């Protein structure tokens, strides 16, 4: 059943039964001081605006029984999945694998790698650990989505122009319809955030759709009302 969501560049033909909410990298390493984002010289407070919109959509999706997927960017403790080309970039004092206030930077199992408590996964929600920016690269995300018959992705998380965009582009080439939450994504660079949203829906939706969280929440409520 399709519940249209007002979106750019035109209404998104939302089909909640075949959609997943994919929350990208809402990890302490990006959101809090002392993690990977801060090590690269960023003001991490700029990402906080995404938390409440994501939380609102997350509550709706859970209530509607939709598939929710969380991703985390990070590496094995022995860094065997960390390409030198990635390791060498970012020439600050602290790099991936180094010790920081939340444990080793961007390493699986460390406190900084955890998803922030406000958006913590619950039982049954797959958590995809990814070594790259895109959530499809070197993960089983596509298998999980295909097994569930998912054809549409509602994408949220950080950062808009890096991991969210990379994942949207990978998903687009795999035939998934993607909607980006305009307020449930954020960047350390507000201008990049704005342009990343523009890029997604330019050219009549070259990569997909963009809509605010409230319109997705309303659509999910409508869907629940029809199906109750």
Residues that bind ligand C5J (CB under 6 A): 25, 30, 73, 133, 158-159, 162-163
DSSP state of 8: B
* Smallest distance from ligand C5J to CB 51, Å: 15
Of 40 and 64, CB closest to ligand C5J:
40
Closer residue to ligand C5J, CB minimum distance, 25 or 110: 25
Query: Which residue in 129, 133, 163, 178 is the catalytic one?
Result: 163
Between residues 50 and 201, which has the closer beta carbon with respect to ligand C5J? Answer: 50
61 labelled catalytic: no
Please report how close the Cβ of residue 1 comes to ligand C5J at its closest, in angstroms: 33
Q: What's the start-to-end Cα distance of the chain, in Å?
A: 13
Contacts of 87 (CB under 8 A, 6+ apart): 79, 95, 96, 97
**173 given a catalytic annotation:** no
The least distance separating ligand C5J from the CB of residue 172, rounded to whole angstroms, comes to: 17
Residue 53: DSSP 8-state: H
Residue whose tokens read 């399709």: 2
Alpha-carbon gap, residue 164 to 136, rounded angstroms = 11
Task: Give the pairing type, strands 177-186 and 3-5.
Answer: unpaired
Alpha carbon distance 10, 179 (integer Å): 11
Query: How many angstroms separate the Cα of 55 from the Cα of each of 43, 120, 156?
Result: 22, 10, 10
Whichever of 25 and 129 has its CB closer to ligand C5J, that residue is: 25
Q: Is the CB of 9 or the CB of 132 nearer to ligand C5J?
A: 132
DSSP 61-72: HHHHT-EEEEEE
Q: How far is the CB of 67 from ligand C5J (least distance, A)?
A: 21
DSSP letters spanning 82-122: --HHHHHS--SS--TTSEEBTEETTBTTSGGGSBPGGG---
Q: How far apart are alpha carbons 216 and 126 in whole angstroms?
A: 21
User: Minimum CB separation from ligand C5J for residue 24, in Å?
Assistant: 6
Q: Which of 29, 114, 129, 130 is catalytic?
A: 130
Q: Is 86 a catalytic residue?
A: no
Enzyme catalytic residues: 25, 130, 163
């Amino acid at each position: 059943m399709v519940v249209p969501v007002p979106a750019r560049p035109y209404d998104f033909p939302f089909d909640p039964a075949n959609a997943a909410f994919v929350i990208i990298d809402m990890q302490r390493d990006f959101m809090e001081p002392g993690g990977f984002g801060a090590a690269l010289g960023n003001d991490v407070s700029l990402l906080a605006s995404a938390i409440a919109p994501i939380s609102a959509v997350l509550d709706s999706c859970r209530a509607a029984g939709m598939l929710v997927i969380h991703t985390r960017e990070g590496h094995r403790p022995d860094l065997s999945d960390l390409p030198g080309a990635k390791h060498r970039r970012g020439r600050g004092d602290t790099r991936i694998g180094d010790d920081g206030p939340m444990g080793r930077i961007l390493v699986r199992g460390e406190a900084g790698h955890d998803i922030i408590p406000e958006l913590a996964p619950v039982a049954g929600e797959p958590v995809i650990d990814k070594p790259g920016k895109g959530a499809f690269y070197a993960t089983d995300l596509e298998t999980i989505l295909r097994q569930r018959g998912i054809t549409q992705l509602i994408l949220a998380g950080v950062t808009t122009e890096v991991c969210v965009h990379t994942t949207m582009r990978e998903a687009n080439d795999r035939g998934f319809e993607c909607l980006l939450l305009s307020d449930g994504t954020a960047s350390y660079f507000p201008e990049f955030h704005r342009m990343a949203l523009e890029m997604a829906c330019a050219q009549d939706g070259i990569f997909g759709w963009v809509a605010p969280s409230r319109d997705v929440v309303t659509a999910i409520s409508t869907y629940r009302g029809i199906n109750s």
